Amino acid sequence: MPAQVLLLSQAWGPTVFKSTETGQETLWKILGVATRLPDTFRRAASKAKVYGGKPIPGMDTSECLMDPECPEGVLGQGMQPPVTQTRRWTLMLERNSRIESWASDDRLKALSSVVALGANIICNKIPGLAPRQRAICQSRPDAIIVIGEGAQLGINECQYQFRYGRWNCSALGEKTVFGQELRVGSKEAAFTYAITAAGVAHAVTAACSQGNLSHCGCDREKQGYHDQEEGWKWGGCSADVKYGVEFSRRFVDAREIKKNARRLMNLHNNEAGRKVLEDRMKLECKCHGVSGSCTTKTCWTTLPKFREIGYILKERYTAAVEVEAVRATRFRQPSFLRLKQSRGYIKPTDTDLVFLERSPNYCEEDTSTGSAGTRGRLCNYTSPHTDGCSLMCCGRGHNTHQYTRVWQCNCKFQWCCFVKCNTCSEKTQVFTCK
């Protein structure tokens, strides 16, 4: 398995090199294993770091990308991202004569033999991928790390938004960020699909803007346009959210294989999550003029904070609508969804979250519904909401734990030269569900 982790990390993009620890954690999640890269390869990755930003004037671009001494650029206002391609460690080590200790024949031959296995083996080892997703993995291996980070971004946001509820999204992402599915077509399943699809689109768009993915970059449609009446023009690096949304659509939607009502539900919620992201894109501008005046403005689009997307989708979850599948004829497969309570064929809106089945109570642990149960969960004794003990504990009652919290307080500087503090304490109660 370490060889598989090595092969995936060396083959798939600058993300691993720019944020080694984050990239490794994502790799372990994607592969569904808890293992670390050997120290030798981790140090090699650090030395073979890919630097962002524009190269130094007079220096060859490829040389700068391979040279550990190149200063790291900053992608900011008006700066174009670097054009990067997927590079293997072998190529980096062979071209960089400064890493002499890593270029010995034996080690290089051993590393090359591992690299020669190709992306196919690694893509086949990733659990939870549908056939079309595996094909995308093999054709675009540089994107799989970014996709994994986007899926994990969605899972983390799900756990944040539902941290005070009976269902807290904790069962998702335990083994791998791919292939997670709640078997019940509930409101909770609707939210997880929407937030995951939005997370992948957000991560891919951000990676393109930062130059961490091949075949994409800034939004070219917004370059060069000048609005004479408003006095501003497109400039800088606008986030290409259309590319991110389309990539998310190709990859995330590819896992929907069965031609049934659940497929229609999942695809609708995926699209709703991506639509919310598109609608929340922000316009940032910078003024240009004499003495701080704003004679002209240069503007570009940026991604919103993903927490904002989480809040909006949580509101959509609260207002989710129940639907049912409609067949064009008696013997055909379901073709579209309609609101269940409506008399006519009223379809849900593009940003509605939809569900087919009522949610279970999530009081007991049940892997089929994605419920971790509420036994041992913290609860708020005085709260009337979902985090309150009366609702959280499902009528089983709660335990009371008392402890004393001690800390340093009223600290003052004494001449000369030390700080004198008092010791403060308070008794605190914590409540957990039985």
Tell me the per-residue pLDDT of 70-95, one tens digit each, with 9 for 90 and over.
333 333 333 333 333 333 332 332 33
Question: Is 93 found in the same domain as 26?
Answer: yes
Q: 125, 148, 167 — which closes off a domain?
A: 125
- The yes-or-no verdict on residue 50 having pLDDT over 70 is no
Question: Is 278 found in the same domain as 147?
Answer: yes
For residue 296, list its beta bridge partners.
Answer: 288
Q: Which residue has the tokens 């671009």?
A: 61
From CA 84, how far away is CA 396, in angstroms rounded? Answer: 57
Give me the half-sphere count of Cα atoms (radius 13 Å) on the Cβ side of residue 20: 16
pLDDT digits (tens, 9 = 90+) for 193-251: 999 999 999 999 999 999 898 889 888 776 666 666 666 677 778 889 999 999 999 99
Number of domains observed in the structure of the chain: 3
Whether omega for the bond prior to residue 417 falls within 30 degrees of 0, making it cis, is yes
The pLDDT, as a whole number, for residue 226 is 62
Question: Is 87 found in the same domain as 143?
Answer: no
CATH code where residue 403 lies: 3.30.2460.20
Question: Is 408 found in the same domain as 312?
Answer: no
Q: Are 90 and 103 in contact (CB under 8 A)?
A: no
Domain range spanning residue 412?
A: 376-433
- Mean pLDDT, all residues of the chain: 74
Question: Is 147 found in the same domain as 73?
Answer: no
- The yes-or-no verdict on residue 33 having pLDDT over 70 is no
Q: Which residue has the tokens 């501008």?
A: 285
